[in-house]
């Protein structure tokens, strides 16, 4: 498995990383046995996958706890990334939550500790009903000073952000605290970061971690039609606002464009003799501005298929063809990478 350096850090990450949201089981992805997690994590390490991405919010901490169990005795082989909720960033609270993550992960340090969403009332509201906190979140300066203190204490090796736009990255940089990564949605149907965010990260030596490379199963050949997508997985702006349970974006989606593109993407995969999963992952990894692309694997079979995608190298012609196929989706959804809020009230700017 190839590796790339993460921004200005000394972390060398495998180009394919492990998304751990489903670990520990929960309402969103369903049950997940610890036995399967152990097997998948150990096999991933054997295949050269060294980056494991989790967050305190994933299954109310159970994802971190499950990953910690799976890495017991193998911690030195792995790089762990975790994320703090935007609602837990007051200095004393942030410290408590970081230490709670360390305990669940059974480790003395987290390699990359990220702010899950930018500091703003709308982002805070995503995680809490506390009106006082929503109206008066801590400042960007005090949040990153606290993170820097935790870094100096050795609790975290590097500081990162997630879901930050250019202006928000500039705000963070003005604090003087070094940030080495920005984690963002990136796949054939979610290409918004290509316009401004990705070039900015590359120019400022901020590594990009791409998440949701299979668009929650849409690019896995999992659904015969978009009508088969479950409501919880149809809440993004890719779908009409009437489709998903708890949808907030209020937009019309790009279902016609996606249906057409899916058939053409499958055609490309068939021509190459590979699975749509391999093709989708290989496309994301081919962008050298992306340090690592994280994808979930619930079983050894899924892991092996995903890992094959990490080893497929696409020609420039195939990449250009896939870009052209998905261009109508990009044009319909625009260049804002917050796919769950409407563009008129985005959390990313």
Answer for the pair 110, 20: CB distance below 8 angstroms, yes or no.
Answer: no
Query: What CA–CA distance (Å, rounded) separates 56 from 84?
Result: 6
Strand positions, DSSP E, the chain: 3-5, 12-14, 16-19, 51-53, 79-84, 110-115, 156-162, 181-185, 207-211, 290-295
Query: What CA–CA distance (Å, rounded) separates 120 from 124?
Result: 6
By C-alpha distance, which of 156, 165, 148 is closest to 206? 165
- β-strand partners of 4: 13
Query: What CA–CA distance (Å, rounded) separates 112 from 235?
Result: 28
Q: Is 58 a catalytic residue?
A: yes
Give CA separation, 199 vs 51, 196, 242, in Å: 23, 6, 34
Phi first, then psi: what are they for 124, rounded to 5°?
-65, -40
Answer for the pair 295, 327: CB distance below 8 angstroms, yes or no.
Answer: no
Give 120-151 as a 3 state SS string. CHHHHHCCCCCHHHHHCCCCHHHHHHHHHHHH
The residue from 51, 58, 200, 211 that is catalytic is: 58
Answer for the pair 237, 275: CB distance below 8 angstroms, yes or no.
Answer: no
By C-alpha distance, which of 290, 303, 273 is closest to 187? 290
Active site (catalytic) residues: 58
């Amino acid at each position: 498995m190839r590796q790339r350096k993460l921004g200005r850090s000394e972390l060398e990450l495998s180009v394919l990383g492990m998304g751990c949201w489903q670990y520990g089981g929960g309402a969103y992805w369903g049950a997940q046995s610890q036995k399967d997690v152990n097997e998948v994590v150990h096999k991933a390490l054997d295949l050269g996958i060294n980056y494991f991405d989790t967050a305190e919010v994933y299954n109310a901490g159970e994802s971190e706890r499950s990953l910690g169990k799976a890495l017991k005795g193998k911690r030195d082989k792995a790089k762990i990334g975790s994320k703090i909720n935007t609602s837990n960033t007051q200095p004393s609270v942030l410290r408590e939550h970081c230490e709670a993550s360390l305990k669940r992960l059974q480790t003395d340090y987290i390699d990359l500790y990220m702010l899950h969403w930018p500091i703003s009332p709308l982002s805070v509201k995503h995680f809490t009903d506390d009106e006082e906190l929503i109206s008066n979140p801590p400042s960007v300066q005090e949040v990153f000073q606290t993170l820097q203190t935790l870094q100096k204490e050795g609790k975290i090796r590097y500081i990162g952000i997630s879901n930050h736009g250019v202006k928000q990255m500039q705000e963070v940089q003005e604090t003087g605290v070094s940030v080495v990564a920005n984690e963002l949605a990136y796949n054939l149907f979610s290409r918004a970061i290509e316009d401004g965010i990705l070039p900015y990260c590359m120019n400022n030596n901020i590594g990009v971690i791409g998440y949701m490379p299979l668009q929650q199963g849409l690019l896995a050949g999992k659904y015969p039609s978009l009508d088969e997508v479950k409501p919880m997985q149809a809440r993004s702006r890719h779908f009409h606002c009437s489709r998903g349970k708890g949808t907030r974006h209020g937009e019309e989606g790009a279902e016609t464009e996606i249906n057409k593109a899916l058939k053409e993407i499958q055609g490309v995969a068939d021509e190459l003799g590979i699975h749509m999963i391999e093709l989708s992952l290989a496309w994301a990894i081919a962008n050298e501005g992306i340090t690592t692309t994280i994808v979930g694997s619930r079983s050894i079979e899924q892991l092996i298929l995903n890992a094959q995608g990490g080893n497929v190298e696409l020609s420039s012609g195939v990449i250009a063809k896939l870009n052209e196929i998905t261009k109508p989706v990009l044009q319909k959804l625009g260049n804002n990478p917050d796919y769950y809020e409407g563009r008129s009230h985005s959390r990313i700017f």
